[in-house]
Structure 1
Amino acid sequence: MTTTSLADFLRALPDEELTALIRLRPDLVIPPPADFSALAHRAQSRVAVARALDALDQFTLEILDALRYTRVGHSSSVESVLALTAQSGVEAARVRAAIDRLRAYAVVFGPDAAVRIVGAVDEVCSPYPAGLGRPAEELDPLAGALVADAAGLRRTLLAASPAARAVLDRLAAGPPVGTVAAASLQPGSDSPVRWLVDRHLLAVVGRDAVELPVEVSLVLRREAGPLGQLHPDPPPMETPRRDPAQLDRAGAGQVLELVRNAEALVEAIGQEPPGVLRSGGLGVRELRRYAKTVGIDEQQAALLVEIVTAAGLIGEEIVDNKRVESVFLPTVAYDAWRAFGIAARWHRLAVAWLTMTRAPALVGQRDDRDRPINALAPELSRPGAPAQRRAALQVLADLAPGETADPAAVVATLSWRAPRRISRGTSAGIEASLAEAAFVGLTGFGGVTGFGRLLLAELAAEAPDPEDPLGIGSPEGYALSGSAALLDTLLPAPVDHVLLQADLSAIVPGPPEPTLAGELELLGQQESASVYRITAETVRRSLDAGYSAADLHALLARRSRTPVPQTLTYLIDDIARRHGGMRIGSANSYVRSDDESLIAEVLADRRLQQLGLRRLAPTVLACRHTPNRLLEALREAGYPPVQEDSTGAAVLARPKARRGAPRPTWAARGVEDPTAAVRLSAPRLAGVVDQIRRGDAAARAARRAPVTVRANGASGASHTEALEVLQQALRDKTRVWVGYVDAHGATASRLVRPVSMGSGYLRAEDERTEMLHTFALHRITGAVPESEA
């Protein structure tokens, strides 16, 4: 088979079938090929064929093996394959459908009587089609003599011991080659393999390898058929059924936990920014600390930190340019993310998990240098992770709503749907993906939730913008739709009130609305998902941010559906009365207070001796440190100071949060297939097909067009006549074939439409590439109108 034959097959395809091929194999047109010869060359390259076969199911690959096995010369036939599969009890329509699927992928081509297989298939597939070995005569003349005697072959097989028969059955199932210990093949050995070799049922093909002749395999497969056991259907799957609403409720509950834990994790990172390791990851101790803070285990913390980083909520900031040291920090996108509702926040996290090229399940394992793999480390990059997640979830999504399946059943189904792809991985990766999907809230009780099913459909229809998956940058802002809108109906409505208790706790009877969440973050210390504790420290924090005692009383009265405890009122008044009784300014800095005893207490406090305080007056202390450093030290010692400006007015403001630059989003990087994230629209597909056909027509015409001038039927015309042809084409605005010598001295020709000619140059447009070319007139060797080429 040659490239030209495949090119002719592709050239003869209708536009609809060619478009379908490009949809199935978009890697063939990235970048768009010049013509059908280039397209055929790509389609039968080793890498492209391997990628196409990876997308085929087990039965289709078995039929491909049948075509390879029945091939005579360069082609096979559909009838010969049907004759073999009929012995296995497979319907002819299903076999023809599998062959049509192979044609749709351009793995095979040609009419039913002469089906050809692209050459690279033999390079990327097993050398033993259908698990059958070579003929006995080719392996060993004595083996050939044995299989020629059908009765003798049956008697020899019947004489085999159970151990020897087990070896034969194993090799008959394929592949037909096996390795054994060299001692087992030595003459005189009592091993079953030696017995089979002595009876010529096996042939020695190496120092420690044996092969089963194809004739013996066919006898052993007489019940299943020459091709062995075929698998036209996926393995049966047990699918216990639950109420779909139950799955949705379970997923919605996990969504609340995910969003709350993600926010708690990012806040913890913002309060104590961890350093970036030299390897680019997050330290083990920091991960353990954050897991304890959030209330999840370390493996879940690793998954969560990977998700929030992929979602652009965590970034980096360089703190030392000389030593190139960085820390992890929340990003500006985190502030925008917090302003949305829970459904919108979940949507961003879920999309980030589905599309990120990371494998969080590997955190804690050892790399090839026996070093532990840290969270956020480059070693976690796995280009095939997004495809694996979607494939595993798609198995569940293909079930009826409410049906569930265990991970082992999902692995078995995937092994049938894409055996080549699954064989390169392990079931552990798929099971980890399903566990992560439950953590994200896409599944519940082993089944896909309704909003999870919608999200998978959305991603399959159109890839989201990895830089703005929520549409924050759009003028209209973000509006809930699809999966997020469905989830929003399942979540409890956001509440705008709390229930104050006598023990100074505030119970939030549902997810707080963004404004209330901000107020609670300042006024209380979160103890659980719905409980905040109000303490003297949190009241002081609110006063430092600019609230007055009256503001806090009004806030609690407005937000609480229960009476405000009297103890809380007294606490606020007491803290407010003492708040600001001490002032800090610039001396470099100073401390002043109307309370002389308080100044004396500060001066005598041993915890503050490192500040070097000295008394300037009964109510004033001076310090060599900056006001911010002094303010921080006094607050750590338990004093309630506030800063003042040059006029003596108190400076009250919430501390400015540090923000880092987001890491390059892993969701936008390449995946296992460089084209897996490509969604070619219908207009673009039509344009690609048209471009290939125009380019092919131009290439075929170029092969027929002469390079030298041909004017008035005479070849080798003068350079002046070539210029006349160009001038006429310029006036008529027609296309012309131009022959020229390039800068390397090679001759070439190009079909162009002249635009202008002067100053020693021809400027012409190539309509196929939509580019403007400039030719030096002295390099032009000929010009022929398109109509005469």
Structure 2
Amino acid sequence: MSTLTDWLREADEADVVALLRARPDLATPRPADTTVLAARAASRASVARAAEGLDTATLAVLDALLVAGADHAPVSPDALDIGLPPERVRAAVAVLRGLALAWGEPEVSLVPAAREVGNLPPSTPSPAPADVPGLLAALGGDERQVLDTLAHGTGVGKTKDADFAGSLDDAVTPIQRLLARGLLVRRDGETVTLPGQVAAVLRGAPTALVEPRLRTTPHQRATVDGTAAGEAMEFVRHVETLLRLWSDEPAPVRKAGGVGVREIRRLAKAADVSEARAGLLMELAAGAGLVADSGDLEPEWMPTTLADSWLAATAAHRWAALASAWIDLPRLPGLGGRKDARDKLLAPLSDDLRRPTAPVERMRVLRALPSDGGVVSADELAAVLAWRAPRRGGRLRDDVVRWTMAEATALGVVALGALSGPGHALLDEDVSAAAKRMAEAMPQPVDHVLVQADLTVVAPGPLEPHLAARVAEAADLESAGAATVYRVTETSLRRALDAGRSAEDLHELFRTRSRTPVPQGLTYLIDDVARRHGRLRGGAAACFLRCDDPALLAEVAASPAALGLRLRRIAPTVLVSPVPLLEVLEELRAAGFAPAAEGADGQIVDLRPAGRRVAAPPRAAQRPAASRQVDAETLTELVRGMRLGDQAVSARAGRTVTAGAGLGGNSAQTVALLSEAVRARQRVVVSLVDAHGVASRHVIQPVRVGAGVVEGTAGEQTHRLPLHRISAVSLVEE
């Protein structure tokens, strides 16, 4: 019987490359020869990792091979009877061979570790599989209950009757009767084991050896992309709300890390979203580097310096930054708000939500979406993925699928259950193309508004950035969506005037940008607010108030607010105060006055804080190495290196010189022996230690020695080996 090492050594180079691509853990560190590769492929940890990717039908074939004892002796796949068509069994066996979990043809052998990671306990010589159904039919209810419990568990149980060795007539308890019939096997004085052939019958055939059908609904690509664009614009607007909110009032960091419930509810109210969506907004803003922990003695979450450049970008590029951050985010935002096994709240932005494998699982869900339509239900998609890899994902397996679909839909990566055009570009890791496709899907910016008689301003689409800023400056956002509605109020007009706009600027804004006639009420309101605005002005003389109307200034000095502000008249038209100017202006506005701030040149200035910022943390590549494929050329070179290692192992070594000046040997003797091999055209075995301390052996035909290297050939390959890395050289006895 051939071994796994022999089978791998005889396999085609392309097949071994495919194996290393399917099981990348086998290639790290670089195996010296096929023997090392086979040992890794048969190790329990590596076999368990490879088995995580097997589907339900392939696992059923694996279990059937284990029942037949393929881990001890070769078994013919044609002899398996598990309710699958023969071609499906052969396909499953081919998958197992491709992963080096099985080898041999036509009969198949399994690596011994497959028994430890399989779904069945070990089989025993008796009873024979054909006799098991009859023995089970003769059992009583209590005995059958014991077997069913073990069959659907680990197959191992603790009992005081494990040492029973009598006949069926002597048995008293259910455990003793099962031991007497051979349906249980003693492992030690307190442990019994259910034989694998018994467990296979009790469990029966898997309930779904055929992949569940995934229902889909056809959609036009333009419809999917248009819907995705609408969701993307809404999500970007919500992140803008988060940045404004935390810019004005940063969120404190919890002692245990993350954000507290109060801050989540504050954002949910400000953005008019659910608390779950608020947590997702926080996670993605942090993942994109737009917000960060200040790191102060009393740390706070606040916008970073990247937030300003993000806000200045186009909507499509803002979306692309968020969506690419989500793809690579090593966290599960869906866990936010849940409680763990110790009843501890899992808060957004805390370390409790960190899951390094999240990007891999996220990509797996997105790549499973069909190309011919949208999935009807995330639960159906979860069922299909569970069938394709039942041993993968742990207890959150199905939840991750639902969270991924919900988050992708909120971002516009998925719409109507289908992957959007920009989402396809993201999966191809082309962020620029994703932004371009999203820009094409988004409605074109409009350069006009519709002013209504009730002083509302309707934007019939996304406004041009400059116009949007001007409108937001002079009106309050009332509702957002396909058509955004703003409302003009006295407060909003005062805000525009505080920012340095004049009444004429506001008249011109609405006159030139409104496709509807400007209502007379808006004209009167602008003039009225502008007439009163700025008549009372304050300066930063720590601070002063001046007014050309002594009566108005006297009214301010006599108001209740003047006492708290400690206002003092220094001239008929000037008041001063030791209170900061911004606080004076706010108190007077609350008292019903309309003061404005002025600069050194007498012009109105805006003293409102621009918002706090913290340095953006460096964003490293977050996608784990498991999601990055090694290129075929590198793997091919690795396989060829193993083949050389095999030749070195099988070569009969003759005269040997320990070499390498840096390795404690005699470099002169090394060069002499290599030069002798060049003249005699004799192959040599070169032992090498690379810069990382990894030892390897190469069989080459040296053709030239000099300039610090030995150049030689091995088959069609040419190798240049540094002399100072050589630890030993041996002539090959032909």
Q: Could you say which TM-score interval applies, normalised by the shorter chain?
A: 0.7 to 0.9
Q: Following TM superposition, by how much is the alpha carbon of 1:286 offset from its aligned partner in structure 2, in angstroms?
A: 1.1
Question: Where do residues 122-201 of structure 1 align in structure 2 (5 Å cutoff)?
Answer: 122-126=115-119, 128=121, 133-136=123-126, 157-160=136-139, 176-177=155-156
Whether 2:98 is the aligned partner of 1:121: answer no
Structure 1 match to 2:285: 308
Whole-Å separation in 2 of the counterparts to 1:431 and 1:251 = 18
Pick aligned residue for 2:259 from 282, 292, 303 = 282
Q: CA RMSD in A?
A: 4.8
Whether 2:490 is the aligned partner of 1:520: answer no
Pick aligned residue for 2:622 from 669, 674, 678 = 669
Pick aligned residue for 1:576 from 490, 510, 530 = 530
Whole-Å separation in 1 of the counterparts to 2:710 and 2:299 = 52
Structure 2 match to 1:100: 94
Deviation string for 1:107-142 (max 9, x for gaps)? 2334434x443344334334626xxx4344xxxxxx
What is the one-letter code of the residue matched to 1:676?
Answer: A
Pick aligned residue for 2:306 from 329, 333, 337 = 333
Question: Where do residues 373-522 of structure 1 align in structure 2 (5 Å cutoff)?
Answer: 373-395=346-368, 397-398=369-370, 400-402=372-374, 404-444=375-415, 447-451=417-421, 455=423, 457-461=424-428, 463=429, 470-471=431-432, 481=433, 484-522=435-473
Of the structure 1 ranges 42-51 and 543-552, higher mean CA displacement relative to structure 2 is found in 42-51
Whole-Å separation in 1 of the counterparts to 2:540 and 2:393 = 68
8 Å Cα contact 2:67/2:197 also seen in 1: no
Note closer, same or farther for the CA distance 1:563–1:725 as it changes in structure 2 (3 Å cut). same
Structure 1 match to 2:240: 263
Determine helix, strand or coil for the equivalent of 1:615: strand
Equivalenced residue count is 708
What is the one-letter code of the residue matched to 1:335?
Answer: D
Deviation string for 1:413-446 (max 9, x for gaps)? 122100111454353343333333333344455x
Note closer, same or farther for the CA distance 1:372–1:638 as it changes in structure 2 (3 Å cut). farther
Whether 2:79 is the aligned partner of 1:83: answer yes
Whole-Å separation in 1 of the counterparts to 2:305 and 2:217 = 45
Determine helix, strand or coil for the equivalent of 1:98: helix
TM-score (norm 2): 0.80
Note closer, same or farther for the CA distance 1:117–1:607 as it changes in structure 2 (3 Å cut). farther
Whole-Å separation in 1 of the counterparts to 2:653 and 2:732 = 15
Structure 2 match to 1:357: 330
8 Å Cα contact 2:50/2:99 also seen in 1: yes
Note closer, same or farther for the CA distance 1:377–1:158 as it changes in structure 2 (3 Å cut). closer
Pick aligned residue for 2:489 from 506, 531, 535 = 535
Note closer, same or farther for the CA distance 1:54–1:770 as it changes in structure 2 (3 Å cut). farther
Pick aligned residue for 2:56 from 58, 83, 87 = 58
Of the structure 1 ranges 383-392 and 201-210, higher mean CA displacement relative to structure 2 is found in 201-210
Whole-Å separation in 2 of the counterparts to 1:693 and 1:71 = 32
Structure 1 match to 2:715: none
Determine helix, strand or coil for the equivalent of 1:337: helix
Whole-Å separation in 2 of the counterparts to 1:740 and 1:387 = 37
Whole-Å separation in 1 of the counterparts to 2:613 and 2:720 = 46
Question: Where do residues 759-774 of structure 1 align in structure 2 (5 Å cutoff)?
Answer: none
Determine helix, strand or coil for the equivalent of 1:551: helix
Of the structure 1 ranges 45-54 and 530-539, higher mean CA displacement relative to structure 2 is found in 45-54
Whole-Å separation in 2 of the counterparts to 1:632 and 1:127 = 75
Note closer, same or farther for the CA distance 1:220–1:556 as it changes in structure 2 (3 Å cut). closer
Whole-Å separation in 1 of the counterparts to 2:441 and 2:670 = 76
What is the one-letter code of the residue matched to 1:505?
Answer: T
Q: Which runs of 5+ in 2 are unaligned?
A: 713-717
Whole-Å separation in 2 of the counterparts to 1:580 and 1:704 = 101
What is the one-letter code of the residue matched to 1:502?
Answer: A
* Percent of aligned pairs sharing the same letter: 39
Deviation string for 1:44-73 (max 9, x for gaps)? 443332222111212222222333333467
Note closer, same or farther for the CA distance 1:195–1:691 as it changes in structure 2 (3 Å cut). closer
Note closer, same or farther for the CA distance 1:273–1:178 as it changes in structure 2 (3 Å cut). same
Note closer, same or farther for the CA distance 1:271–1:719 as it changes in structure 2 (3 Å cut). closer
Determine helix, strand or coil for the equivalent of 2:625: coil
Determine helix, strand or coil for the equivalent of 1:532: strand
Deviation string for 1:745-764 (max 9, x for gaps)? xx9999999776xxxxxx66
8 Å Cα contact 2:44/2:113 also seen in 1: yes
8 Å Cα contact 1:204/1:210 also seen in 2: yes
Determine helix, strand or coil for the equivalent of 1:425: helix
Structure 2 match to 1:70: 68
Whole-Å separation in 1 of the counterparts to 2:32 and 2:179 = 56
Structure 2 match to 1:478: none
TM-score (norm 1): 0.75
8 Å Cα contact 2:561/2:588 also seen in 1: no
Note closer, same or farther for the CA distance 1:516–1:699 as it changes in structure 2 (3 Å cut). farther
Whole-Å separation in 2 of the counterparts to 1:338 and 1:755 = 61
What is the one-letter code of the residue matched to 1:389?
Answer: R
8 Å Cα contact 1:70/1:76 also seen in 2: no
What is the one-letter code of the residue matched to 1:64?
Answer: L
Of the structure 1 ranges 640-649 and 325-334, higher mean CA displacement relative to structure 2 is found in 640-649
Pick aligned residue for 2:272 from 279, 295, 304 = 295
Q: Following TM superposition, by how much is the alpha carbon of 1:561 offset from its aligned partner in structure 2, in angstroms?
A: 0.8
8 Å Cα contact 2:444/2:462 also seen in 1: yes
8 Å Cα contact 2:67/2:196 also seen in 1: no
What is the one-letter code of the residue matched to 1:57?
Answer: D
Whether 2:677 is the aligned partner of 1:679: answer no
8 Å Cα contact 1:356/1:668 also seen in 2: no
Structure 1 match to 2:561: 607
Determine helix, strand or coil for the equivalent of 2:292: strand
Pick aligned residue for 2:41 from 40, 43, 52 = 43
Whole-Å separation in 2 of the counterparts to 1:634 and 1:406 = 57
Determine helix, strand or coil for the equivalent of 2:293: strand
Whole-Å separation in 1 of the counterparts to 2:569 and 2:148 = 97
Of the structure 1 ranges 615-624 and 523-532, higher mean CA displacement relative to structure 2 is found in 615-624
Whole-Å separation in 2 of the counterparts to 1:207 and 1:721 = 64
Whole-Å separation in 2 of the counterparts to 1:702 and 1:641 = 98
